[in-house]
């Protein structure tokens, strides 16, 4: 279980759940904590969150599968969310998505063979003034061009040691 969440976070969630009236309000927090530590949320992660908060696994699962920023399948070390909403569309977002797919050699929902990148489309990132935009982890990159994307990918690859 420890590879899902560090012991101090487990203790923290258990303690907080014991003091609040509605522990289920921590489901999203706990799922995000598991994902942040483990990379994604496996079945055992759903079970762990359910156990920590005293709710049924299905009550956690219906939350985990609703949100698009909770990954219920293995993902690469870096998940790229490229915006496909209207402002990015108007600024060449489709062409940029094609460039990403071609450069990475994967389609949406897929992970590169080296396990570094997963590519997903996302709705508007709230960076409409700097379209087209994408988000990797919790960082948003705006005013993208194919060249800028290549530089970012190279940086991220270095970061992950790949």
Partner 1 sequence: MSGYPQVLFKNRHPGVAAFLAEYEASGGYQGLRAALKMTPQKVREAVKAANLRGRGGAGFPTGLKWSFFPADQPGEKYLLANGDEMEPGTYKDHQLLLADPHQLVEGMAIAAYAMQIPHGYVFLRYAYEQCAQNVERAIAEAEAKGYLGPDILGAGFGFELHVHRSAGRYILGEETALINGLEGRRPNPRSKPPFPAQSGLFGKPTNVNNVETFANVPHIFTGGTEWYRSLARTAEGAGTLLVGLSGHLSRTECFELPMGISLREVIEQCGNGVRGGRAFKACLPGGASTPFLTAAQLDTPLDHVHMEQAGSRLGTAGITVFDETTCMVAATLNLARFFARESCGWCTPCRDGLQVVVWLLEEIEGGRGSFELLAMLRDQVKNISGRSFCALAEGAMGPVGSLLTRFGDELEDHIKRGRCPMR
Q: Which residues bind partner 1 (CB under 8 A)?
A: 21-22, 24-29, 31-32, 55, 59, 62-63, 66-70, 84-87, 89-91, 122-131, 135, 138, 140
* Nearer to partner 1 (CB atom), residue 90 or residue 113: 90
We find the least distance from the C-beta atom of residue 13 to partner 1, in angstroms, to be 13
Distance of CA 71 to the CA centre of its chain: 6
- CA 151/CA 136 separation, integer angstroms: 14
By beta-carbon proximity to partner 1, the closer residue of 11 and 68 is: 68
Least Cβ distance, residue 5 to partner 1 (angstroms): 16
Measured between its terminal Cα atoms, the distance across the chain in Å is: 27
In whole angstroms, the minimum distance from the beta carbon of 23 to partner 1 comes to: 8
Question: Which residues neighbour 88 within 8 Å (Cβ) at sequence distance 6 or greater?
Answer: 82, 96, 124, 128, 131, 132, 133
The smaller minimum CB distance to partner 1, of residues 75 and 127, is found at: 127
Residue 92: count of CB within 10 angstroms of its CB: 16
């Amino acid at each position: 279980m420890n590879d899902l969440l560090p012991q101090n976070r487990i203790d923290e969630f258990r303690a907080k759940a014991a003091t609040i009236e509605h522990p289920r309000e921590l489901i999203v927090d706990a799922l995000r904590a598991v994902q942040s530590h483990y990379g994604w949320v496996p079945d055992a992660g759903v079970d762990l969150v359910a156990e920590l908060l005293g709710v049924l696994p299905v009550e956690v699962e219906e939350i985990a599968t609703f949100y698009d920023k909770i990954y219920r399948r293995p993902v690469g070390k870096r998940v790229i969310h490229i915006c496909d909403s209207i402002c990015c569309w108007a600024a060449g977002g489709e062409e940029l998505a094609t460039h990403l797919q071609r450069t990475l050699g994967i389609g949406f929902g897929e992970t590169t063979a080296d396990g570094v990148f997963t590519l997903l489309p996302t709705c508007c990132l709230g960076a409409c003034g700097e379209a087209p935009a994408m988000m990797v982890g919790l960082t948003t990159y705006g005013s993208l061009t194919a060249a800028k994307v290549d530089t970012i990918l190279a940086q991220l690859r270095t970061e992950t040691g790949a």
